[in-house]
């Protein structure tokens, strides 16, 4: 991994693929660091110049982020430090998942000059009231008892029961990775999600948009993806029938095929 100091903090990131290939940036979910893309990044790098990075609180990245707007501005500073803009020599595409999806919507709203094409999986524009309660509960639990106290909850939100039971080695690896997250920043991210509402602004997004829904996702269910897609006139909607919150792990081949077709 590489590191860079930006105007908004310290960022840990990695690039793979030919420098002259189309740019693709990967945003990770709240429940994982950027290692969640380990299984697909090499394949993506055959077609793209791929950048993945850790949000503050993961993998050594730091920054003052208390709202999703803050995370969007932090990410914009990283793009700018790495000289990534859609007005440069090549377009900049983003693939985002879960928490990263909300941040990517904020990025496209607040810094429209940076992104040419947004592909957003299992995310949305805002959480319904009943889905804010688990986020607030995780925040409080982490602050009082540490990340270890929410590992099982996190895994149940990332993967359907049958996948977890059939893949204990993946679950163990994901728990180890998540355990390294900073509890205070994780709690701030949970609170930020519970207070977010980008739905009324989403129509202002001007770049190309493709929205992907994992039909087994109980964390950010298909209804949230569909609701966001309906607010963006130029958005296209896609489904992965047998995937939960993280298709890059549960259905990597289907996701790769979809990304290749979209981009």
In CATH, what number is assigned to the domain containing residue 18? 3.40.50.1820
The phi and psi torsions of 22 (rounded to 5 degrees) equal -55, 145
Q: CA of 118: how far to CAs of 8, 71, 135, 150, in Å? A: 23, 17, 25, 30
Question: Helix, strand or coil for residue 176?
Answer: helix
Would residue 241 count as lying in a domain? yes
- For the chain, 263 residues long, give each residue's pLDDT as a single digit of tens: 999 999 999 999 999 999 989 999 999 999 999 999 999 999 999 999 999 999 999 999 999 999 999 999 999 999 999 988 766 667 899 999 999 999 999 999 999 999 999 999 999 999 999 989 989 999 999 999 999 999 999 999 999 999 999 999 999 999 999 999 999 999 999 999 999 999 999 999 999 999 999 999 988 999 999 999 999 999 999 999 999 999 999 999 999 999 999 99
Angle at 156 between CA 146 and CA 29, to 5 degrees: 70
Total tally of structural domains belonging to the chain: 1
CB 92 within 8 A of CB 67: no
Would residue 150 count as lying in a domain? no
Would residue 7 count as lying in a domain? yes
Would residue 149 count as lying in a domain? no
Tokens 């700018």 sit at which residue? 80
Would residue 163 count as lying in a domain? no
Domain that holds residue 115: 2-126+197-262
Residue 146 — left, alpha, or beta (φ > 0 → left; ψ -120 to 50 → alpha)? left
Would residue 16 count as lying in a domain? yes
Would residue 11 count as lying in a domain? yes
Question: Helix, strand or coil for residue 135?
Answer: helix
CB 194 within 8 A of CB 136: yes
pTM to 2 decimal places: 0.95
Would residue 187 count as lying in a domain? no
């Amino acid at each position: 991994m590489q590191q860079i100091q930006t105007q908004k903090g310290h960022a840990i990131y990695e690039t793979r693929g030919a420098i002259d290939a189309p740019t693709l940036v990967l945003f990770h979910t709240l429940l994982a660091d950027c290692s969640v893309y380990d299984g697909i990044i090499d394949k993506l790098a055959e077609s793209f110049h791929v950048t993945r990075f850790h949000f503050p609180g993961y993998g050594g990245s730091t920054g003052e982020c208390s709202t999703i707007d803050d995370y969007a501005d932090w990410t914009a500073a990283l793009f700018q430090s790495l000289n990534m803009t859609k007005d440069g020599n090549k377009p900049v595409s983003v693939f985002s998942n879960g928490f990263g999806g909300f941040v990517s919507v904020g990025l496209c709203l607040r810094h429209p000059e940076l992104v040419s094409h947004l592909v957003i999986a299992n995310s949305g524009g805002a959480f319904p009231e009943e889905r804010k309660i688990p986020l607030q509960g995780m925040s409080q639990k982490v602050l009082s008892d540490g990340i270890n106290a929410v590992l099982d909850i996190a895994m149940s939100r990332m993967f359907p029961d049958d996948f977890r039971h059939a893949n204990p080695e993946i679950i163990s690896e994901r728990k180890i990775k998540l355990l390294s997250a900073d509890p205070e920043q994780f709690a701030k991210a949970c609170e930020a999600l519970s207070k977010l509402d980008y739905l009324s602004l989403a129509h202002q997004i001007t770049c190309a948009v493709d929205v992907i829904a994992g039909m087994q996702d109980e964390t950010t269910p298909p209804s949230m993806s569909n609701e966001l897609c309906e607010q963006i006139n130029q958005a296209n909607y896609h489904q992965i029938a047998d995937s939960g919150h993280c298709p890059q792990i549960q259905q990597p081949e289907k996701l790769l095929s979809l990304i290749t077709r979209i981009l």
